């Protein structure tokens, strides 16, 4: 007997197959039952008629509940009106387990309730679609870099230092000393770029974000390419090409999921256009012209990002930020030492920053000065400064937060639905 999967059911047209899965829902009308079977790969309608399965099996069918597990044997037949275009005419069914009082019913539940039942909520159609899109985004990201000769080199999670601000560090005992969970793989990525030319690292990163916003997690996944002999303009090009590639892939391969999520496709397709580039200073002027009280030198908050990004249909690149609000490693603009050659990509539709990157400072004295200014421990960065001592070259990179991209592409109200088991302030379980 062929064991079929719902996503490949058309390959079995006219054949009798076995399907293993769970009850998405079921109903009966007299001697005929309708079962929506969820097998992890999709959902299919199975017709269970008393005349086909016999009296005993039909009695068993009557006992099934939402999320009971079972195997079905039946014929695959085309039916234009069935969701997915095919249905199963059941000949036999075997129940593995009857589920009792499954907590998530088709009725509306509050977010907190659903988050507490995240381990079960993952089975729902919407969450399933989101995580399928997430997988596609991750695969596209890897394929993009792999096909351009980038080498994946993993950065460590236990680190001895802060790289993205000491206020969001998670610390943990590390034998006789203190270690911090990595906020970014970048500094190690710079070492890898000097060894491999083009490198990326892709792993979980951690930030003790005390703010409860719809954009912040405490554990999130970041992909970080780092490229030797690359200046800021080329860095922006790589980021733009990556995002174009991801959008194309999702549109090609995850259309059904986007439909379930009711994603506005033409709006998403706008992101395939070139990304306008504006300087931070131009952004500040846009805010001022819009009557928003904002001082040059301040960091953009979410409302400022949204205000600027709303003027465009596609993502935009904002570059050349004040040095004082950016990380120590960003290169000063030789044409204006007050700003750094950093860039952020802001997604449209109010999603804000999805990418942050820069050209890297190569002058040891400037780096030492900035490390001191940030109150960071010089000794922890000695190895990093070696990269400027032994064959230093212009180099650039960026970090793209996977969850922010998933939230935008799926157009979700909150980043908590973009990751299987979100970690946020006040959320460590399940």
Burial 152-161 (b: 16+ CB within 10 A, else e): ebebeeebeb
Residue 412 interface partner, choices Mg ion, ligand 4AD, none, CB cut-off 5-8 Å depending on type:
none
Count residues near ligand 4AD (CB under 6 A). 23
At residue 62, what are phi and psi to the nearest 5 degrees? Answer: -60, -25
Residue 401 interface partner, choices Mg ion, ligand 4AD, none, CB cut-off 5-8 Å depending on type:
ligand 4AD
Contact region with Mg ion (CB under 5 A), list: 203-211, 310-318, 323-331, 350-358:
350-358
- The answer to whether the CB of 414 falls within 8 A of the CB of 118 is no
Per CB under 6 A, the list member of 66, 186, 192, 314 interacting with ligand 4AD is 186
Residue 418 interface partner, choices ligand 4AD, Mg ion, none, CB cut-off 5-8 Å depending on type:
none
At residue 92, what are phi and psi to the nearest 5 degrees? Answer: -155, 150
Q: What is the DSSP string of 319-350?
A: EEEEGGGS-TTBPEETTEEEEEEEEEEEETTT
Provide, rounded to whole angstroms, the least separation between the CB of residue 345 and ligand 4AD: 7
Pick between residue 61 and residue 200 the one whose CB is nearest to Mg ion: 200
Provide, rounded to whole angstroms, the least separation between the CB of residue 316 and Mg ion: 15
Provide, rounded to whole angstroms, the least separation between the CB of residue 201 and ligand 4AD: 8
Residue 57 interface partner, choices ligand 4AD, Mg ion, none, CB cut-off 5-8 Å depending on type:
none
Burial of 108 (0-12, 13-18, 19+ CB in 10 A): exposed
Residues within window 202-221 making contact with ligand 4AD, judged by CB under 6 A: 207, 209, 216-217, 220
Pick between residue 21 and residue 356 the one whose CB is nearest to Mg ion: 356
Pick between residue 87 and residue 224 the one whose CB is nearest to ligand 4AD: 224
Cβ-Cβ contacts under 8 Å for 292 (sequence gap 6 or more): 304, 307
Per CB under 6 A, the list member of 35, 53, 169, 222 interacting with ligand 4AD is 222
Residues within window 23-42 making contact with ligand 4AD, judged by CB under 6 A: none
Pick between residue 225 and residue 356 the one whose CB is nearest to Mg ion: 356
Pick between residue 348 and residue 399 the one whose CB is nearest to ligand 4AD: 399
At residue 143, what are phi and psi to the nearest 5 degrees? Answer: -60, -40
Residues within window 148-177 making contact with ligand 4AD, judged by CB under 6 A: 164
Pick between residue 42 and residue 356 the one whose CB is nearest to Mg ion: 356
Look at residue 280 and give its three-state secondary structure: helix
Pick between residue 33 and residue 356 the one whose CB is nearest to Mg ion: 356
Per CB under 6 A, the list member of 39, 67, 224, 361 interacting with ligand 4AD is 224
Helix (H) or strand (E) run with residue 49 in it: strand 43-49
Residues within window 338-377 making contact with ligand 4AD, judged by CB under 6 A: 353-358
Helix (H) or strand (E) run with residue 98 in it: none
Residues paired with residue 72 on neighbouring β-strands, in sequence order: 19, 93
Instruction: Decide if residue 404 touches ligand 4AD (CB under 6 A).
Output: yes
CA distance from start to end of the chain: 38
Instruction: Decide if residue 397 touches Mg ion (CB under 5 A).
Output: no
Structure tokens at 136: 């596609």
Per CB under 6 A, the list member of 230, 397, 410, 412 interacting with ligand 4AD is 397
What Cα–Cα distance (Å) separates residue 127 from each residue in 35, 111, 123, 210, 399? Answer: 21, 13, 7, 26, 25
Structure tokens at 35: 């079962």
Pick between residue 21 and residue 225 the one whose CB is nearest to Mg ion: 225
Give the whole-angstrom CA distance, residue 172 versus residue 217. Answer: 19
Residue 66 interface partner, choices Mg ion, ligand 4AD, none, CB cut-off 5-8 Å depending on type:
none
| Nearest residue to 352 (alpha-carbon basis) of 297, 325, 299, 315 | 315
Count residues near Mg ion (CB under 5 A). 1
Burial of 96 (0-12, 13-18, 19+ CB in 10 A): exposed
Give the whole-angstrom CA distance, residue 4 versus residue 302. Answer: 47
Per CB under 5 A, the list member of 185, 356, 357, 401 interacting with Mg ion is 356
Pick between residue 220 and residue 238 the one whose CB is nearest to ligand 4AD: 220
* Residues contributing to the site for Mg ion (CB under 5 A): 356
* Residues contributing to the site for ligand 4AD (CB under 6 A): 164, 184, 186, 207, 209, 216-217, 220, 222, 224, 353-358, 397-401, 403-404
């Amino acid at each position: 007997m062929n064991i079929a999967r719902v996503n490949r059911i058309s390959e079995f047209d006219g054949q009798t197959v076995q399907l293993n899965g769970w009850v998405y829902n079921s109903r009966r009308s007299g001697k005929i039952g309708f079962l929506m079977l969820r097998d992890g790969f999709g959902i299919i309608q199975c017709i269970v008629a008393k005349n086909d399965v016999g009296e005993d099996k039909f009695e068993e069918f009557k006992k099934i509940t939402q999320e009971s597990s079972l195997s079905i044997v039946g014929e695959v037949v085309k039916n234009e009106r069935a969701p997915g275009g095919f249905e199963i005419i059941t000949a036999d069914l075997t129940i593995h387990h009857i589920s009792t009082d499954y907590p998530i019913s088709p009725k509306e539940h509050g977010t907190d309730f659903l988050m507490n039942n995240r381990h079960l909520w993952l089975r729902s159609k919407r969450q399933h679609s989101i995580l399928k899109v997430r997988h596609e985004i991750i695969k596209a990201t890897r394929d993009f870099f792999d096909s351009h000769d980038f080498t994946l080199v993993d950065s460590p999670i236990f680190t001895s230092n802060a790289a993205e601000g000491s206020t969001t560090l998670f610390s943990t005992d590390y034998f006789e000393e203190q270690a911090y969970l990595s906020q970014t793989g970048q500094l190690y990525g710079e070492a890898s770029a000097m060894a491999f030319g083009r490198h990326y690292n892709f792993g979980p990163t951690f930030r003790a974000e005390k703010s409860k916003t719809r954009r912040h997690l405490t554990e999130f996944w970041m992909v970080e390419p780092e490229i030797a002999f690359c200046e800021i303009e080329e860095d922006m090009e790589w980021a733009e090409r990556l995002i174009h590639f991801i959008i194309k892939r999702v549109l090609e391969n995850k259309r059904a999921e986007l439909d379930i999520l009711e994603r506005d496709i033409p709006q998403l397709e706008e992101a395939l256009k070139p990304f306008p580039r504006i300087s931070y200073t131009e952004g500040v002027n846009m805010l001022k012209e819009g009557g928003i009280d904002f001082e040059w030198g301040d960091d953009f908050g979410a409302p400022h990002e949204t205000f600027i990004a709303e003027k465009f249909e596609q993502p935009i690149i904002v570059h050349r930020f004040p040095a004082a609000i950016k990380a120590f490693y960003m290169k000063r603009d030789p044409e204006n030492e007050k700003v750094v050659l950093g860039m952020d990509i802001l997604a449209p539709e109010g999603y804000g920053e999805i990418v942050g990157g820069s050209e890297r400072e190569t002058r040891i004295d400037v780096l030492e000065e900035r490390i001191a200014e940030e109150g960071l421990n010089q000794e922890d960065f000695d190895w990093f400064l070696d990269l400027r001592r032994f064959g230093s070259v212009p180099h650039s990179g960026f970090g793209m937060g996977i969850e922010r991209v998933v939230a935008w592409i799926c157009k979700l109200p909150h980043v908590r639905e973009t990751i299987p088991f979100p970690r946020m302030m006040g959320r460590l379980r399940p």
